[in-house]
Structure 1
Amino acid sequence: MSSQWLRQSNRADSPYRKLEDRINFAVHVGAFTAFNSGLWFFHELMPGTLLWLPKLTFLWLSLLIVHGVWIFAIASYPSSEVDKP
C-alpha cells in the first residue's frame, strides 16, 4: 500500500475507513509508549511517588489491547458504492 491516499478522502469508503482506523491505533500506541515511558522514568528517579502509575499503565494497556482487537479482529468494513469504479 502506498504511503499516501490516491483517491478522494471519503469516510464512506471502506478502505479509507480501515486505513484511518489503523492510523488512529498507531497514534494510540505511540501516545501510550511516550507517556508511560516518561512516567515510569520519573517513577524510577523518585521512588515512592506516582503510586497510582501501575494501575494507570494496566488500565491504559487494557484499553489499548481492546482497541487493537477491535481494529484487527472485530471491525468489519463492508463494501459501499464508493468502492466500485
Structure 2
Amino acid sequence: MPPRWPRKPDRNDPEFRKLDDRMNFAIHVAIFAASNSGIWFFRNLTAASWPWAIWVTGGWVSLLLIHGVYIFVLADYGSTTKDSA
C-alpha cells in the first residue's frame, strides 16, 4: 500500500520533503540492486572477464553512500519560510 499524505503534497513542506527524499533514495537503492545483480549474474554466467563491472559497482556504491549520508545525516528539513515581498 503506498504511503498516504494527509494534506496536499507541497515540496515546501519539510515533512513531505523528508519523505520524498527518502522514497527517492529507496528507488535508487532498488535500481542499483536490480542492475548490479544483473551485471554480476551475467558476468558469472558467461565466465567472461568484465573488469568494468567492479568499477561500475564500486562507483555506484560510492554515490549511494554519499546520497544516503546527505539524506539521513546532513539534510536540514527545518521549516522553510517564504518571503512575502
Structure 1: gaps spanning 5 or more residues? none
Aligned-partner residue type, residue 63 of structure 1: L
Matched, 1:13 2:13: yes
Shift of 1:13: 0.3
Residue 4 of structure 1 aligns with which residue?
4
Residue 28 of structure 1 aligns with which residue?
28
| TM-score, scaled to structure 2 | 0.88
Residue 67 of structure 1 aligns with which residue?
67
RMSD between superposed Cα atoms in Å: 1.7
Shift of 1:50: 2.7
SS at match of 1:48: coil
CA distance in 1, matches of 2:3, 2:48: 45
Structure 2: gaps spanning 5 or more residues? none
Residue 53 of structure 2 aligns with which residue?
53
SS at match of 1:52: helix
List structure 1 runs of 4+ shifted beyond 2 angstroms: 48-51
| TM-score, scaled to structure 1 | 0.88
CA distance in 1, matches of 2:61, 2:29: 9
Shift of 1:3: 2.3
Task: Write out per-residue CA displacement over residues 5-54 of structure 1, whole angstroms, 9 at most, x where no aligned residue.
Answer: 11101010000000000000000000000000011000001122432000
